[in-house]
Structure 1
């Protein structure tokens, strides 16, 4: 089905360009992998300046539905993609930093998501997906691993289990929620008193979690991942809860 581009009104032009492109996606005329016409062709069709068009394309790139390749040749230009994980993670991280969501909200969201993903992974995970999680765990237990690398591998381990659950949205949301507090968790890991003991405890639970998923014991895996998240958040991060006055509220690992 050919894409039919229509001129847009000049008022708030970049938003109207966004709306027009969204309508083409909703109508099924633009799909992942499709390329947009070059700017020099698309701007006159919309009836907007190239600067307004570029602004709209930058917004689409930021939210993970478009990638722009500069230069010339068959790979140059803007292409529709599906890349929600990084975009949602960036968005949540900014809103978390701005105070739109508190640590308590992030904690409870992560508990709900990961209980669901670990239980589902025990039912649906492919052996290859769990082998990849096992490879991440093997890197986490190596001597000399430092907080930044550990934090990255820890995130990837939990996201990999969510991916293996068979629910793409759960995987994306798990990644976004974990990414939103990545800097905070890294800072907390860097400040622990006994790094070796901390990582040993975390890795022991990671190992047991993976064994439970492989054995198909979903409810036990769900219970353990909740204990895993709640057990460490209180020791790593402490922040006042706005609804509790001066009482403490904790973040998470």
Structure 2
């Protein structure tokens, strides 16, 4: 928690801590209305400006919704945060920090092995059709940018087919955070057509394992696919 020059915690962070503690304890749940700003300020010995600042942070994170007015919808209400809010926060942190390529590789391998294994068991006919559509898109004469978009969609669809929302969002956040360096690696490839063909083949093999419901093979193939391509990266 941040501190003022006097060594005391920053007031708005005290307000954040107060709200977060009640959310994590379950005292405040989605749909609950927070006390009015004036009451929160008096309860915590904080200024109303500090309360407003803390609430703005929570609203930006998608945790609360504030509605000005006097009707039944007015005030500040706890809302179920959309999963993408978590993904965006993680993605921003990954973007502004510098992680060794090995750390990013291991994180992707861990998450995507899990997703591929579950997807091999849980995938539906609709999931397989969606994956096939991305594979068909990759078969076109695509440049690195367009191929990268289809590649991302393919991996995200696998995470979605696994049915674990949290793992899905973590996968999306990490994949998006390295989008630029992956694309740079594609562009730097001397023989792009050869690399594109190899990536197509690897994706087709993963799709076949998912179709067959072969959990171990799907997980092994996606790990080999990630490690082979991440070996080209310089972060």
Both structures adopt the same fold (TM-score exceeding 0.5): yes
129 and 67 in structure 1: CA distance in 2 versus 1, 3 angstrom threshold: farther
71 and 167 in structure 1: CA distance in 2 versus 1, 3 angstrom threshold: same
Asked whether the 8 Å contact 1:43–1:49 carries over to 2, the reply is no
Distance in 1, Cα, partners of 2:182 & 2:170: 18
Q: In the TM superposition, what are the counterparts of 1:217-228 in structure 2 within 5 Å?
A: 217-228=214-225
Asked whether the 8 Å contact 1:94–1:180 carries over to 2, the reply is no
**CA displacement at 1:50 relative to structure 2:** 4.8
Distance in 1, Cα, partners of 2:110 & 2:88: 21
SS across alignment from 2:36:
helix
Match of 2:233 in 1: 237
Distance in 1, Cα, partners of 2:193 & 2:78: 46
1:46 to 40, 56, 68: 40
**CA displacement at 1:102 relative to structure 2:** 0.9
1:89 to 88, 91, 104: 91
1:215 to 180, 192, 212: 212
Match of 1:251 in 2: none
Match of 1:127 in 2: 125
**CA displacement at 1:182 relative to structure 2:** 1.7
1:118 to 116, 120, 124: 116
**CA displacement at 1:68 relative to structure 2:** 5.6
220 and 21 in structure 1: CA distance in 2 versus 1, 3 angstrom threshold: same
Match of 1:12 in 2: 10
SS across alignment from 2:38:
helix
Q: In the TM superposition, what are the counterparts of 1:160-179 in structure 2 within 5 Å?
A: 160-179=157-176
1:66 to 51, 63, 71: 63
More helix by share: 2
Match of 1:105 in 2: 103
Asked whether the 8 Å contact 1:70–1:76 carries over to 2, the reply is yes
1:190 to 174, 187, 190: 187
SS across alignment from 1:142:
coil
Asked whether the 8 Å contact 2:64–2:78 carries over to 1, the reply is yes
77 and 193 in structure 1: CA distance in 2 versus 1, 3 angstrom threshold: farther
Asked whether the 8 Å contact 1:35–1:78 carries over to 2, the reply is yes
Distance in 1, Cα, partners of 2:65 & 2:191: 45
Q: Give unpaired runs (5+ residues) of structure 2.
A: 1-7
Q: How many residues align?
A: 219
137 and 86 in structure 1: CA distance in 2 versus 1, 3 angstrom threshold: farther
Match of 2:4 in 1: none
**CA displacement at 1:194 relative to structure 2:** 2.6
For 1:138-173, what per-residue CA distance to the aligned partner results, in whole angstroms no more than 9, with x for missing partners?
333333x34333323322321221221122232222
Asked whether the 8 Å contact 1:93–1:179 carries over to 2, the reply is no
200 and 181 in structure 1: CA distance in 2 versus 1, 3 angstrom threshold: same
204 and 185 in structure 1: CA distance in 2 versus 1, 3 angstrom threshold: same
Q: Give unpaired runs (5+ residues) of structure 1.
A: 1-9, 240-253
